[in-house]
Structure 1
Amino acid sequence: MRLEGKVAVITGAASGIGLAVARKFAAEGAKIVIGDRNAAGVEEAAQTIGQSATATTLDIADGNSCQAIIDRAVSLHGGLDILCNIAGILDFGRFEEIDRGRWDRTISVNLSGVYQMCHAAMPHLIERRGNIVNMASAAGLVGVPFNAAYCASKHGVIGLTRALALEYSKEGVRVNAVCPGGVDTPMTKQAPPENIDWQMVMRSASWLDSGAMATTDEIADSVLFLASAEAKRITGVAFAVDGGQTAG
């Protein structure tokens, strides 16, 4: 019960890493408000988790929607201790084929969405000396070909994480980022474009277990650790959970 008595907001919780984080947080005693643009999926997730979970439809690219989920958590539970920014999108493609619309959509969800959630949550986190765990990526630490917008957004998440960690350290608010490598999620199972050199992409795969992808539970374990009191002296880190992908 490492999170007993804590209140957490978790985005992207209808599936994948976000759902795994929601389940672990609830099992560890937290009251959670979970958000996702997939309204039916996030409602189903809350029902399977039980009474400790409240579902909210969330469009992370919309600042009003981000404010609303934070307000709901505070209204329901009297405050906020943890924010987990898990929601994100992936858009593989050759750079010259990524038009401004695709670029803007990736940045608005993966980076601006994190800004909006952190901005809405920060006053409440200061009040309770809480913490933030952002979902970055190994693609925020190194370049990944055919993934320029995603790389740019995740590098931005790491920069934002480090800046906020320093700025709010005196208020006792910790801010960290998890940087997974390949993870077995619905997002990574999207049909890949045919004109991508996947041999080049796979040069940056995990070195562990013959390049096997991580499970969502393995990434959720890292999020739980950083959100818990066990990590009370850790802030401003980009915590690589990538099987050595970024080690060399």
Structure 2
Amino acid sequence: MNLQRFTDKVVLVTGAASGIGLGTTERLAREGARVLACDINATLLRDETDRLAQQGLDVTAQVLDVTDAASCEAAVAEAVARFSKLDALCNIAGTLLNKRFAEISEAEWQRQMAINVTGIFSLCHAAMPHLLASRGNIVNCASIAGIIGVPYGTAYSASKGAVIMFSRALAVEYAGQGVRVNAICPGAVATPLSQNTILPDDADFNLVGKLLPLLPVMGQPEDIAAGIAFLASDDARFMTGAALVMDGGQTAL
């Protein structure tokens, strides 16, 4: 990869042990970033960051529970203490629940919101003073489920719709202060999260089938990582408040 858009840049990435978060960590590091890679899965995170470090990439592991505000504050503080600044925050950590609405418990609803929404709030809140200092930016991982209704995904769709509107509102508030905020909206991507998701028994596949990509290939984490890298780079300096869709045509119909 010849692009070096993140030379001398410091980026914090969540959900970095697998899937889109791992793909983003590797992509940004290969473009020259110093990455604080964060995830709740300490063992997998250490294995992956060690692998990337052995390839000469500047990646440091930090265990993070996005549902814990103190853990979010500690991760941001570690990035700044270690690297003296923070240029970009990529909130990729998330969870997915596919379940009939009538069967969703309050605890399951709260978990979706805690991981997918409140975690992003906590990290943005902790990072903003440092991003103001660096005139940096934020990329939040939403989903096409925040744009269209997804069958058996009421809690997930609600959380991702919240991410999009949170990103837009934050972008408006901080545009005049030099901090950009954008969301990325992946469609179907081959990640452990999506591949381990089970649809309800007797699911209506006429509904589910409407969500298939138009392209004859499945999205890969590196595809979405490329979009995140663009949004976090100076190539997107005129983009803020955007919700960039990367879905192989799922929402084109």
For structure 1, the 5+ residue unaligned runs are none
Structure-1 separation of matches of 2:26 and 2:131: 22
What's 1:198 paired with?
A: 205
Match of 2:102, SS? helix
**Paired residues, number:** 246
Report the identity percentage: 46
Alignment of 1:1-248 (within 5 A): 1-50=4-53, 52-192=58-198, 193-209=200-216, 212-248=217-253
Residue identity matched to 1:2: R
Residue identity matched to 1:33: L
Preserved contact between residue 98 and residue 197 of structure 2 (Cα < 8 Å): no
**CA 1:90–1:18: 2 relative to 1, 3 Å:** same
Residue identity matched to 1:9: L
Deviations 1:95-151 (A, max 9, x none): 000010000000110011111111110110000000000000000111101000000
Match of 1:80, SS? coil
Match of 1:208, SS? coil
Match of 2:119, SS? helix
Preserved contact between residue 93 and residue 196 of structure 1 (Cα < 8 Å): no
Residue identity matched to 2:89: L
When normalised by structure 2's length, the TM-score is 0.95
Match of 1:25, SS? helix
Deviations 1:187-212 (A, max 9, x none): 01115132322331221221112xx3
For structure 2, the 5+ residue unaligned runs are none
When normalised by structure 1's length, the TM-score is 0.97
Across the aligned residues of Structure 1 and Structure 2, the Cα RMSD in angstroms comes to 1.0
Structure-2 separation of matches of 1:163 and 1:94: 30
Structure-2 separation of matches of 1:246 and 1:172: 31
Structure-2 separation of matches of 1:33 and 1:184: 24
The alpha-carbon deviation at position 49 of structure 1 amounts to 1.4
Structure-2 separation of matches of 1:243 and 1:189: 17
Structure-2 separation of matches of 1:57 and 1:109: 15
